[in-house]
Amino acid sequence: MISLPIALGVGLLATIANAFTYDQPYRGQYHFSPKEHWMNDPNGLLYYDGTYHLFFQYNPGGIQWGNMSWGHATSKDLTHWEEQSIALLARGYGGNVTEMYFSGSAVVDVDNTSGFGKDGKVPMVAMYTSNYPIAQTLPSGKYIQENQQAQSIAYSLDHGMTWTTYDAANPVIYQPPAPYQDQYQNFRDPFVFWHEESQKWVVVTTLAALHKLAIYTSDNLKDWKLASEFGPYNAQGGVWECPGLFQLPLDGGKSTKWVITSGINPGGPRALLYFVGEFDGITFTPDDYSVYPGNATANWMDWGPDYYASAGYNGLAADDYVQIGWMNNWQYGTNIPTSPWRSSMSIPRHLSLKTIGAKALLIQQPQEAWSSIVKKHPAYSHSYNSIPQGSVKVGTTGETIKLDLSFSAASTASKFAIAVRASADFTEQTLVGYDFVNKEVFIDRTKSGDVSFDTTFASVYRGPLTPNNNGMVKLTVFVDRSSVEVFGGQGETTLTAQIFPSSDALHARLVSTGGATKRVDLKVYNVASTWI
Ligand code: FRU
C-alpha cells in the first residue's frame, strides 16, 4: 500500500520518458515496425532463454535503404515487441561507410564450439554478409575488392545486446566456391543452423545471380567447408536472395521433411519459392513434385505481393517452427506513404507440412500467441443460408480486425468477397474473396486507398485453393492499418498485401457476383494494439 504512490510516480516518469506513440496513420497496430527510419529483411531470428530476438536490416540514418546495419527488437510472446539499440552499426557510419551488415542469421553456441564463450557465458553467434562498398585490406589481412560480398561472424555474450565482430579472421567465407569466384559481388544471406544428425553447423548462402545456393558445414562456426550446391530450379527471374533451410513435421508429426525457401528479386507479384525434400547434412534432394520443368510454375510460399525475405527462428523445436517475413516489396517498397518509418514485418507464422493432393504442402498458421490480442468474442457474427447476387451490409468494423469467413463451394456465384476498409459509398475498398470458377483466393487492392506512389500497386493477386473435403472454402483474414493477410483453407494458401486506406474507411460488406453464395458464416473479431 505504502509503495503505491511511488510505483505510480515511477510509472508516470517512465511514460513521460517513453512519450513515443505508435499512432501515426498507416502504423500497423499488431505488426512490428521500427519507431523511425528504413527497415527491410528480418535477420538473426533466435529464441533463447525466454526471449524472441528479431534483428532486421536497418538504416539508422534515413527512410531510404542505406547504411545497412542490424536493428534489434525483443519479445516474450512474438506479439509485443520492444525495439532495442542497434546491434551492428554500419562500419564508418557518419563518414565513409566501409562495411555494411547485410542479411544473416544467428545461433546460440551452447557447447562453445566457437570458443567465443567466456566465464561460463554462452555466446550468441551471428553470421551475416559483409558488403564492402570499397576495396580495402581488412585487419584479418584479407584483401577485399570493391562491392565484394562475403560471410562474416560476430558474437554476443550479453543476450544479443552488444556484439563483437570477429575481426581476427572475418570474413570467414571469403569468396564464392570455385568455379563461381567471379560472383563475389552477389554472394550473400547466410542462414546458419545446428544439424543434430551430423552434429555440425550448416549454412546455406546464395549465389544470387546464378539462382544457386551453396551449402557449407562447420564444427566451430569459423572454418567452413563447401558441402553441396542447389539449383537453379523453377522460377529463375531476377536474383535469388535470403535462402532458408529447415525441418518440419509432416502430417501432424508422423515424419519430417526438409524445406528450402528462396526469395526472387525482382520477383513480380510473388517472390518467395519453396521446395520440399530431404536433407542429409550435406545435400538437399527435392521431391519430384517440388521441381517443375521450365520456368513458369512454382510453389509459392505466399501468393500476395508483400511477403519477402522470410526467415525462421533458431532455438525452437521443429514442430514449433515460426517464420517472419518482410511485409513489403522491392518494386515499390521505398515509396510507400509512411512516415517517419518504412516497412513492417508480417504476423509470425507457424509452419508445418501436410499431404494435400499427393504433395507435401507448406501449411502456415498465424502464431497461436496472437490469441492474446484477438478478442475472444466476435464483435460481429452472422450466418446466411444464401446471399443472392448483390451485396449484404456488415456495417462498420474496427481498424484492426480478424475475420473468419466460410462458405459453400457449391454456390451459383462466380465470385464471393468481403469488402474491408471501405468508404461509406464503397468507392474505396479492399476485396478479399474467392473465385469459384478458377478456384482461387484473391485480394483486390485496386481501390484500396492511396495507390498513387507506384503504377503496379493497384492490382489483383490470386492463389490456388481447393475447397475442403466438406465442400467449404475457409478464409481467415487479418486486417491492420496498412495490411491484409489471408490464410486460406488449412493455411496452404496465403496472400499478403499492403493497403493504405483512409482512416475513416471502416465499412464492410459481403459481395456475391454472378449468382448466390450458400452457407455463409462470418465472424469479425477486434484485435488490440500491441503498442499500448
Ligand atoms: C533482400 C536483400 C538481401 C540483402 C539485403 C540488403 O531484401 O537484398 O539479399 O542481404 O536485402 O539490405
Q: Out of 23, 41, 319, 480, which one is annotated catalytic?
A: 41
Round to whole Å and give the CA distance between 510 and 518. 12
The residue written with cell numbers 570499397 in the block is 134
Reply yes or no: is the peptide bond before residue 340 cis, omega within 30 of 0. yes
List domains and CATH numbers for the chain.
37-369 (2.115.10.20), 375-526 (2.60.120.560)
Ligand 1 centroid from CA 192, angstroms: 16
Compute, in degrees rounded to 10, the torsion defined by CA atoms 307, 308, 312, 318: 60
Residue 347's φ and ψ, nearest 5 degrees, are -60, 135
Cell of 39: 527497415
Query: Taking a C-beta distance cutoff of 8 angstroms, is the pair 243, 237 a contact?
Result: no
Cell of 208: 544470387
Round to whole Å and give the CA distance between 48 and 61. 30
Q: Which of 100, 189, 211, 326 to mutate to test the pocket of ligand 1 (most atoms within 8 A of CB)?
A: 189
Of the candidates 381, 427, 436, the one whose C-alpha atom is nearest the C-alpha of residue 409 is 436
Of the candidates 364, 283, 297, 360, the one whose C-alpha atom is nearest the C-alpha of residue 324 is 364
Residue 181's φ and ψ, nearest 5 degrees, are -65, -20
pLDDT exceeds 80 at position 269: no
Q: Which of 37, 56, 57, 183 to mutate to test the pocket of ligand 1 (most atoms within 8 A of CB)?
A: 57
Angle at 110 between CA 109 and CA 113, to 5 degrees: 55
Ligand 1 centroid from CA 231, angstroms: 19
Q: Please spell the DSSP secondary structure of 271-305, one letter per residue.
A: -EEEEEEEE-SS-EEE-GGG--SSSS---BS-SSS
Round to whole Å and give the CA distance between 125 and 314. 11
For the chain, the C-alpha Rg in angstroms (whole number) is 24
> Quick count: other Cβ atoms within 10 Å of Cβ 316?
16
Ligand 1 centroid from CA 153, angstroms: 17
The stretch 93-119 carries a mean pLDDT of 98
Of the candidates 496, 497, 495, 493, the one whose C-alpha atom is nearest the C-alpha of residue 363 is 493
pLDDT at 267: 74
pLDDT at 294: 56
pLDDT at 234: 83
Length of the chain: 532
pLDDT at 1: 35
pTM (predicted TM-score): 0.95
Query: Taking a C-beta distance cutoff of 8 angstroms, is the pair 518, 465 a contact?
Result: no
pLDDT at 489: 97
Q: Which of 99, 241, 261, 310 to mutate to test the pocket of ligand 1 (most atoms within 8 A of CB)?
A: 241
Ligand 1 centroid from CA 189, angstroms: 7
Identify the residue whose C-alpha is closest to ligand 1 atom 9. 241
- CA 138 and chain centroid, separation: 33
- What pLDDT, in 10s, does the model give residues 47-89? 999 999 999 999 999 999 999 999 999 999 999 999 999 999 9
C-alpha to C-alpha distances, 412 to 89, 469, 514, nearest whole angstrom:
58, 19, 7
Of the candidates 407, 528, 411, the one whose C-alpha atom is nearest the C-alpha of residue 478 is 528
Q: Fill in the amino acid letter for 382.
A: H
Mean pLDDT, rounded, of the chain: 94
Reply yes or no: is the peptide bond before residue 266 cis, omega within 30 of 0. yes
Atom of ligand 1 nearest to the CA of 239: 9
pLDDT at 505: 97
Query: Taking a C-beta distance cutoff of 8 angstroms, is the pair 123, 117 a contact?
Result: yes
Cell of 210: 546464378
- What pLDDT, in 10s, does the model give residues 429-469? 999 999 999 999 999 999 999 999 999 999 999 999 999 99
4 — pLDDT class (breaks 50, 70, 90): very low
Cell of 518: 450458400
- 6 Cβ partners below 8 Å, 6+ apart? none
The stretch 509-526 carries a mean pLDDT of 98
Query: Taking a C-beta distance cutoff of 8 angstroms, is the pair 338, 306 a contact?
Result: no
pLDDT exceeds 70 at position 295: no
Residues with C-beta less than 6 Å from any ligand 1 atom: 40-41, 57, 68, 102-103, 129, 188-189, 241-242, 309
Query: Taking a C-beta distance cutoff of 8 angstroms, is the pair 259, 244 a contact?
Result: yes
Round to whole Å and give the CA distance between 217 and 195. 9
Identify the residue whose C-alpha is closest to ligand 1 atom 6. 102
pLDDT exceeds 90 at position 140: yes
Round to whole Å and give the CA distance between 429 and 448. 5
Atom of ligand 1 nearest to the CA of 129: 10
Q: Fill in the amino acid letter for 47.
A: Y
Round to whole Å and give the CA distance between 154 and 427. 52
> Quick count: other Cβ atoms within 10 Å of Cβ 471?
12
pLDDT exceeds 80 at position 293: no
- What pLDDT, in 10s, does the model give residues 341-394? 999 999 999 999 999 888 899 999 998 656 789 999 999 999 999 999 999 999
Ligand 1 centroid from CA 92, angstroms: 20
Atom of ligand 1 nearest to the CA of 263: 1
Atom of ligand 1 nearest to the CA of 68: 12
Query: Taking a C-beta distance cutoff of 8 angstroms, is the pair 103, 128 a contact?
Result: yes
Q: Which of 64, 70, 242, 264 to mutate to test the pocket of ligand 1 (most atoms within 8 A of CB)?
A: 242
Contacts 24+ apart (CB under 8 A), 251-257: 251/353, 251/354, 251/355, 252/352, 253/319, 256/318, 257/287, 257/353, 257/360
Atom of ligand 1 nearest to the CA of 308: 7
Active site residue 41: yes
Q: Which residues of 160-191 are buried (b: 16+ CB within 10 A; e: fewer)?
A: beebebbeebbbbbbbbbeebeebbbbbbbbb
> Quick count: other Cβ atoms within 10 Å of Cβ 7?
9
Ligand 1 centroid from CA 241, angstroms: 7
pLDDT at 500: 98
C-alpha to C-alpha distances, 116 to 77, 112, 164, 406, nearest whole angstrom:
29, 7, 10, 53
Query: Taking a C-beta distance cutoff of 8 angstroms, is the pair 213, 226 a contact?
Result: no
- What pLDDT, in 10s, does the model give residues 395-410? 999 999 999 999 999 9
Ligand 1 centroid from CA 265, angstroms: 9
Cross-strand pairs, 430: 420
pLDDT at 5: 44
pLDDT exceeds 60 at position 20: yes
Round to whole Å and give the CA distance between 475 and 473. 7
